[in-house]
Structure 1
Amino acid sequence: MFSSKTYLNRRMHLKRTLKTGLVLMPGNSESPMNYADNWYPFMQDSTFLYYTGINCVSDLWVLIDIDKDRDILFGDDATPEEMVWTGAAEPMVELAEKSGITMVRPLRELETYVTKRRQQGQKIHFLPPYRAALTLQLAELLGMRHSEIATSASVDLIKAVVAQREIKSDEELREIGKAVDTTVAMHTHAIKNSRPGRTELEIAGELQSIAIGAGGNIAFPIILTINGQYLHNHPTQNRLEKGDLVLCDCGAENTMGYTGDMTRTFPAGERFSDLQRNVYDIVLDAHNTAVSGLEPGVMFKDLHLLASTKLVEGLTQIGLMKGNADDAVAAGAHTLFFQCGLGHMMGLDIHDMENLGEQYVGYTPELTKSTEFGLQSLRLGKALQEGFVVTVEPGLYFNPFLIDAWRAEGRFDDFVNYDAVEKMKDFGGIRIEEDFAITASGSKLLGKALAKTPEAIEALKNS
């Protein structure tokens, strides 16, 4: 945890922003895998974690009573019988003290407190829940139908939380840097230990052990695949062969819940083929071009479109596309090869605050999220600010199903050389991703440097 003053100040800032009302801030509960006592690894709700610092304890609620200037932790101390299974558990009073909270109440009093405030006409603020069990809890607590909960979430609270959490403090940046350093170690291992004869799952298991050994866990299910043409293809028993490209997208979550997220694409064998290197260089050029534009005031959507143009220019040079690159991007022809967004916010969540709604996190009332294929997957479009942490991850993906469907439709014939693209249907995909903090004058790469050029990747692989 940070100091209690950090969490006290965060809650004070939230109170000043909202001015009135009662904020309901639930932590997460345990989630069973296949029966009640067999749980998935616990992950605390990130907003609860941000405002309290309490990470590894389930079934807690914090109520921020703005009108009475009162913060209350609701939760129950573990009983001796429960500690037979879990070992010693920190008392609620001690957890609260570390968070700068002076009032602690048993969980059974939560409903009485909330009901009384509701009857007094106090405005109730809560965030949209992303777990079904919490939706039911909120419905019961607030006397609402469960179908009403999502639409009754407080927009004022969503906007206040986003405005606060999107600007990372120096102490947060240090924690994110630690998570990225572990992520770099995971990728270094993947590059050096991926070789013909090994399976995707073997390597992915070793990467998860690195994350756990650093004191945390993986930030999201590892993507490690020889089928990089599919954006989120998780590891299987596929066995690597010479000539394969391996796409590895993984990240670590550190002990305080902060995350890293990086991607590298590398050969299973000792070297890239000439074609693999050519396509890799196209992606690398788009990546470096976008990175060079990171600075406060720049629209991230514009960087996405700039990177897309660079991808089209490169594909045109190797004969896969034709015509004017700007026109191709404006028409959406590039999305045959680049179907996702350039990047996203990162922090306590790998897609930071995505549960609050992408329109609120990545866009503004004046800039709405697109519904067009490709652009609809751009999670961040608005102007960058000092203190943002973002990923930059352009890619090229040769998806045979999409290629066949669009060719049959004659879609974008003016820009796509389908005869040449036909020969790329077994190529796979390439993505390069790094994490950056936006500074006053530009950006700063987070974490230790990791091989990124084809030459550096080959040198690391064969060292």
Structure 2
Amino acid sequence: MSSTTLTKLPIEEFQAHRLAFFKQMPSNSVAIISANTEVTRSNDTEYGFCQDKNFYYLTGFNEPDALLVLVKDENNHCESILFCLAKDALQEVWHGRRIGQEKAVADYKVEHAFTCDEIDSYLPDYIDGKSQVLFPFANDVLTSKVFGWIAQVKSTLRQGGHAPSNLFDSAVITNELRLIKSSNELALMRQANIISGNAHQRAMQKAGVGKFEYQVEAEILHEFARNGARYAAYGTIVAGGDNANILHYTNNSDVLNNNELLLIDAGGELDGYAADITRTFPINGKFTTEQKAIYQLVLDAKNLAVNAIKPGMSFAKLNVLTIEFLTKGLLELGVLSGDLTALIEEKKVKDYFIHGLGHWLGLDVHDVGDYHANAEREQHRPFEQGMVMTIEPGIYIPLSDLNVDEKWRGIGVRIEDNIAVTAQGFENLTQDAPDTIDAIEALMAKANS
């Protein structure tokens, strides 16, 4: 395990990403990937800007409205061209400094940089004579522009213009590249987990009966920001009691009650890379007998799955292990009833474990990358060194479930770690968020002493 503390990727990392992309491009082709644009929140104010992740992966550039053009000629010579906002003293006084074209070349190591106003002038020339254009098909705005530039080239056929005959979805390449993390990316995600794990510790120490969910959320976000993760990677879930049985509960508005659990799903974002951690703990600092039974079952299932991770393993295989284990456990507790074999075959545990076991993690919290899922949604892709994923079993028994003994109702437990696949096995990046009953109760007792 590396001890490197990394809070920002070096620009050489983004150059390496472009080089890997170039290797996937055919000769005599051009790739076009756009940045995001700012989105209006209300009248003349915007939401906090979040860069398009594929664009960021290839550039490290974090301004809106930019465009990356990658050109590979017949001789496999490659060039990177960045279009970005022009330097403008008046706009910069109002809205902040811009990189500009000179620093774009110097700092982001592209061969050429032009202004956004020059995009429509240059792009038909970059496309002219190429056999293939690569761009993200899911980006409707960019797709429309690409077809417009191609149409301009087609209009010059009599003058010797040559429009490309093949179009290719660039996301097919970037999705695969992003799935395997470099040592720098792993170091960054390790640090994101340290920050996020400490935020979960803080939440355990600051939560208490009578506080509101949003007050605990504020403690988490403060811990993220003061350690360099200025933004949450996704909407923070702080779900007390029966709210934990709403998977994507983000209202975070209710009061925390005695003898209930608090489920927190929260991860910071560091230089664009996400952590995604869930912990569940008793609001008053002590698990009840029933809470302890469900919690320990979920914890054991999480550890069973994590310890089985290695190259060649798959989510499909882990799901078999986890479903069998949870089914047996719920049967022994009396939450499920019937024949064990039949319950496993019918996947009755999915009444209470209602989501998947995990997902890829990286620049997006639900990161890109093919799972090789079949018609039954079984994910058979073998794990490889450098993949990062979540493992997050859960059991959810809402108050409205009249099929179980009343003592179980209102309990919702999820425990989620971030796992990197190594050459021989795995590395659990989530080392700083306590998950055992003893550790959680001890931390909360210390905070309240």
Shorter-chain TM-score tier: 0.7 to 0.9
Q: Which amino acid aligns with 2:70?
A: I
Q: Among residues 335, 342, 345, which one is paired with 2:360 in the alignment?
A: 345
Distance 1:282 1:31, change over 3 A: same
Q: C-alpha offsets along residues 54-76 of structure 1, whole Å, 9 cap, x if unaligned?
A: 13x11111101122522100112
- Aligned position for 2:15: 8
- Aligned position for 1:52: 59
Q: Among residues 78, 84, 88, which one is paired with 1:75 in the alignment?
A: 84
Distance 1:387 1:327, change over 3 A: farther
CA distance in structure 2 between the partners assigned to 1:135 and 1:242 by the alignment: 54
Q: SS where residue 210 of structure 1 aligns?
A: helix
CA distance in structure 2 between the partners assigned to 1:140 and 1:330 by the alignment: 54
Distance 1:50 1:24, change over 3 A: same
Distance 1:118 1:212, change over 3 A: same
Give the number of aligned pairs: 419
Q: Among residues 213, 235, 238, which one is paired with 1:224 in the alignment?
A: 238
Q: SS where residue 89 of structure 1 aligns?
A: coil
CA positional deviation for 1:347: 1.1
Q: What are the ranges of 5 or more consecutive residues in structure 1 without an aligned counterpart?
A: 145-151, 354-360, 405-417
Q: SS where residue 273 of structure 2 aligns?
A: coil
Q: Among residues 234, 249, 254, which one is paired with 2:250 in the alignment?
A: 234
CA contact (8 A) 1:186 1:210 kept: yes
CA distance in structure 2 between the partners assigned to 1:454 and 1:4 by the alignment: 43
CA positional deviation for 1:453: 1.0
- Aligned position for 1:292: 307
Identity %: 27
Matched, 1:166 2:149: no
Matched, 1:212 2:225: yes
- Aligned position for 2:3: none
CA distance in structure 2 between the partners assigned to 1:438 and 1:163 by the alignment: 16
CA distance in structure 1 between the partners assigned to 2:273 and 2:56 by the alignment: 10
In the superposition, the TM-score normalised over structure 1's length comes to 0.84
CA distance in structure 2 between the partners assigned to 1:205 and 1:381 by the alignment: 39
Matched, 1:103 2:112: yes
Q: C-alpha offsets along residues 33-63 of structure 1, whole Å, 9 cap, x if unaligned?
A: 122x3111111111111111113x1111110
CA contact (8 A) 1:305 1:329 kept: no
What does 1:31-430 align with in structure 2 at a 5 Å threshold?
31-35=39-43, 37-55=44-62, 57-67=63-73, 69-120=78-129, 122-129=131-138, 154-155=168-169, 157-215=170-228, 216-226=230-240, 227-254=243-270, 256-353=271-368, 361-364=369-372, 367-368=373-374, 370=376, 381-399=380-398, 403=401, 418=403, 421=404, 423=406, 426-430=409-413
Distance 1:349 1:329, change over 3 A: same
CA contact (8 A) 1:398 1:424 kept: no
CA contact (8 A) 2:86 2:116 kept: no
CA contact (8 A) 2:135 2:143 kept: no
Q: Which amino acid aligns with 1:451?
A: P
Q: Which amino acid aligns with 1:103?
A: H
CA distance in structure 2 between the partners assigned to 1:200 and 1:16 by the alignment: 49
Q: Among residues 376, 392, 417, which one is paired with 1:434 in the alignment?
A: 417
CA positional deviation for 1:316: 0.4
CA contact (8 A) 2:291 2:411 kept: no
Q: What are the ranges of 5 or more consecutive residues in structure 2 without an aligned counterpart?
A: 1-7, 153-165
Q: SS where residue 84 of structure 1 aligns?
A: helix
Q: Which amino acid aligns with 1:7?
A: F
CA distance in structure 1 between the partners assigned to 2:318 and 2:219 by the alignment: 35
Distance 1:28 1:153, change over 3 A: farther
CA distance in structure 2 between the partners assigned to 1:143 and 1:342 by the alignment: 46
CA positional deviation for 1:96: 3.1
Q: SS where residue 302 of structure 1 aligns?
A: helix
Distance 1:191 1:128, change over 3 A: farther
CA positional deviation for 1:194: 1.0
Q: C-alpha offsets along residues 272-294 of structure 1, whole Å, 9 cap, x if unaligned?
A: 11000001011011111101100
- Aligned position for 1:454: 437
